Structure 1
């Protein structure tokens, strides 16, 4: 008996809709941060749907860890891109991002009213959670990225530099110097996983995306300084944050704090409260940008500010994934680049260490009870299997009822 394999393919719109609905479900249920997201993706697309092999999935993860930006969102974009081209990437991104983005924008819109209704103790609970969450990220990243005496020195000197120099200058200096030290003195291990490249992205499109990434990175600060318009400055600040963050969503804190809190565009209390609330949300941590854009004291704020912030912070991720995926096989074997990344990752831990001290610790831990609550939340995150959102709720409820 002859068996024929059907070559019929569903209409493109149906494929895009399928990708959107799958990622929408993941965006509503994926609690636990970037590492947990990668586990959910593996279970969904490797084990359940067999869209790609375990090796190819590991290779996509390696690419997104290599690039700056939100690693789990970039993996989602790469999965959609590999499945259905750029429309598939957009569908995956929207499905995974919209649930938490809408919730964070709504929280920003109603922040003043919610703050008065909850009272200071409830809001202080979110700030205490931010201490515990960043401490957990610092602990995990330090073990992975700051091992060895040289990388430990890079981390410590990076933290001191960022605390002493003006924020943006300090961050750029730290990243550039750390990359140079990594290229000169560090040796990254070889990676045996192989990748076939992406057939959905022509190399001309990929090259255009990479050029656009660097042009925007250079041109936006010039435009913002020349035009002195808040929407342009808002887009520039969030684009630069999305383009320079290595290490995931937790590292947006030092970059955004320097740009928005120190400039007076958002209060320190609102900033840290929103960051604490983000930990209780499913989906990518970068949707914290929606809260910052919505609650800003400048105009446009509200929905328009949230939309500008979200588009700007995620645009580098799109451009880099589209630009790098077809060239990844060649790029990933550049030993000097991998060595530079080792130095950059150690510096990122220093950025997070500096942010942990100021503004998080200095503005939140004022008395022994604050330290005890934050330390307890940190211990729960570190030593139990409780999801982050549950630890957030427990901490906030305890602060609201017992520390009022």
Structure 2
């Protein structure tokens, strides 16, 4: 065995509080997006607290990257589940999400006043910084997920197709097609023998099956109930639940799906949408907390903080259900060659989805004059070459644009 179960320290309430405090600290300090979050988690839970062995951490990280949804948050949920059972999963999510979620809901209230004080320049600066951040994500993901002619072809085909056909249905069809292409044309190496992780024993098979059933039921029923009852709260929950359930590749990829749903329905204008997305880059914690801003700022009921809470819970709920549902079957599933090949095809499509979003709406909205291209190039240099943290680049460009536009 690669590890032994960690010692249990006190009753479950104390372990749950321990998980909450650890993840709250990360929610206040973990800047840089999902890839950086993985490093923070490893340092905190493998090196510092010794809650996990290296092998067990790598196995949970592979699970989080396999599932759709917010990868770093799902990794945190799995670590919390391992440490303190079901309450630990909830405590990990709440602690990690709370700071950014509160900040993004608060932004929805103050954004109109900020715009009045600074003018449109702040929003424009945020949009330029978003273009550089998304470009960096596209390049990094392409190097990891679109290597070789077949994967590159899948990514390019998805990007071209999504520039022609817009909307969530087109994205879902592209993801499905990527899975089929991967199954037909890709061959993935057999993974190493997984570590013997006692965490899998915390979720019995009936609980996992129930979680997967609820996941599928909500995905199918929420849109039907929202339309049948004409209920705006259910409609809002449906949009964000679908985004959390169908997004592969992390927080950056949620941008195109939410943009087509939220802006396309007229719930929020394009400038405000991209401005909020720029601000979330400057915050610690999960990028999916962007949902709190959109839910609170959108133009249908429920707005304000109730809408923000509905959006936050709805976008993270699918990830939690998938962690509960898939964890006990993870070792068996990842050993199936067809499942690994299909996932590789889906991941290649994710690169194309993000590349299409980089062009429309990010570049088509942010690039209004030739000097904007130079500013975006400068922001990319600061991010990719100077290695400045994204939050610093985003805040810097927003402040500079705000000052010089006055």
With the shorter chain as reference, the TM-score category is over 0.9
**Deviation for aligned residue 1:8:** 7.5
- Native 8 Å contact 2:107 2:293 kept in 1: yes
Secondary structure at the counterpart of residue 110 of structure 1 = helix
- Native 8 Å contact 1:195 1:329 kept in 2: no
Structure 1 unpaired stretches of 5+ = 1-6
Tell me the equivalent position of 2:3.
none
Q: Is residue 2:163 matched to residue 1:163?
A: yes
Tell me the equivalent position of 1:58.
58
The 5 A counterparts of 1:132-281 are: 132-196=132-196, 198-281=200-283
Structure 1 length-normalised TM: 0.96
Q: Is residue 2:291 matched to residue 1:283?
A: no
Deviations 1:36-93 (A, max 9, x none): 1100100011011111100110000000100001110000000000111110010111
- Native 8 Å contact 1:266 1:297 kept in 2: yes
Separation in 1, partners of 2:173, 2:11: 49
Structure 2 unpaired stretches of 5+ = 1-6
Aligned residues: 398
Separation in 2, partners of 1:160, 1:193: 39
Deviations 1:205-238 (A, max 9, x none): 1111011111111222222232232211111110
Deviations 1:75-127 (A, max 9, x none): 00000001111100101110000000000000012221221112111221111
Deviations 1:257-281 (A, max 9, x none): 0001111100100000000000000
Tell me the equivalent position of 1:335.
337
Separation in 2, partners of 1:230, 1:357: 31
**Deviation for aligned residue 1:146:** 1.2
Separation in 1, partners of 2:398, 2:166: 33
Separation in 2, partners of 1:233, 1:160: 30
Separation in 1, partners of 2:261, 2:284: 26
- Native 8 Å contact 1:186 1:339 kept in 2: yes
Tell me the equivalent position of 2:67.
67
Separation in 1, partners of 2:71, 2:310: 21
Separation in 2, partners of 1:328, 1:358: 36
Separation in 2, partners of 1:193, 1:96: 31
**Deviation for aligned residue 1:245:** 0.6
- Over the aligned positions, Cα root-mean-square deviation in angstroms equals 1.3
Q: Is residue 2:327 matched to residue 1:325?
A: yes
More off after superposition, 345-354 vs 57-66: 345-354
